[in-house]
Structure 1
């Protein structure tokens, strides 16, 4: 692709993403509920009107929670809720989740847990897939995208 075509494509993409067109790049906000140098990633990043929540596992300060798949699934969802709450966002702000599971035979068990975190008529879009392994020997990992429009007053201040 020629450079001119590439720039034109990037410009069109920017116009299609809320918050990008006005300033050229979205304001970024990094959120970490806890600091853990052993895990080199940010728990959530706000980019314009969207918050990207890093993959969460069933871990606490001591590592993987005991109790296997179900306990890890609950704790991963709880971890997501804590991160969003720290950013003053409800679980209802989640518009997309990606679920990675070591054992896809536990799909039904996961659904029973997952659906308790949302209103029945307000479930996020979701993808799920089986993986060979996850970090720390975990059984499930969940990443989310939340929609959280930046108030117009804050958009004006950022300009």
Structure 2
């Protein structure tokens, strides 16, 4: 078993020492993404809908850099700092990124804090054979 460690050119700026994704045996583990953009690292939009869209677009960018898309995602983990207030709008925004009948397994938890003071972070597990 060997692993490939990926940094995507033009991808989101890491906020800590990590790879954008690690690939092993057809599985791709995508690091949790923040709601800033590659063009404006550390700058966050207001509101959970805008932050969720930015996170999902950052995840799309990393997946695309590996020749993958949302259809390859088999599992997601989401972290919300304002869980009760943000959960409904987060779900509505998140849901738009996946084809009908093709939602990945998911865990969503409330946390006390995220990098940059973000309200949301999401990571993925994808599979090349999906």
Q: TM-score, normalised by structure 1?
A: 0.73
For residues 112 and 17 of structure 2, what CA distance do their matches in structure 1 show?
22
* Cα distance, 1:38 vs structure 2: 5.4
Structure 2 unaligned runs (5+)? none
Q: Greater relative contact order (Cα 8 A, min sep 6): structure 1 or 2?
A: 2
Equivalent in the alignment of 2:120: 140
Residue 29 of structure 1 contacts residue 47 of structure 1 at CA under 8 Å; is this kept in 2? no
Equivalent in the alignment of 2:4: 28
Alignment CA distance shift 1:38-1:125 (3 Å): closer
Alignment CA distance shift 1:124-1:38 (3 Å): closer
For residues 31 and 15 of structure 2, what CA distance do their matches in structure 1 show?
15
For residues 70 and 37 of structure 1, what CA distance do their matches in structure 2 show?
22
For residues 26 and 97 of structure 2, what CA distance do their matches in structure 1 show?
22
* Runs of 4+ with deviation above 6 angstroms: none
Larger radius of gyration: 1
Alignment CA distance shift 1:38-1:56 (3 Å): closer
Structure 1 unaligned runs (5+)? 1-24, 150-159
When you count helix as a share of all residues, which structure comes out higher?
1
- 1:50 paired with 2:17, answer no
Equivalent in the alignment of 1:89: 68
Residue 52 of structure 2 contacts residue 93 of structure 2 at CA under 8 Å; is this kept in 1? yes
Alignment CA distance shift 1:122-1:58 (3 Å): same
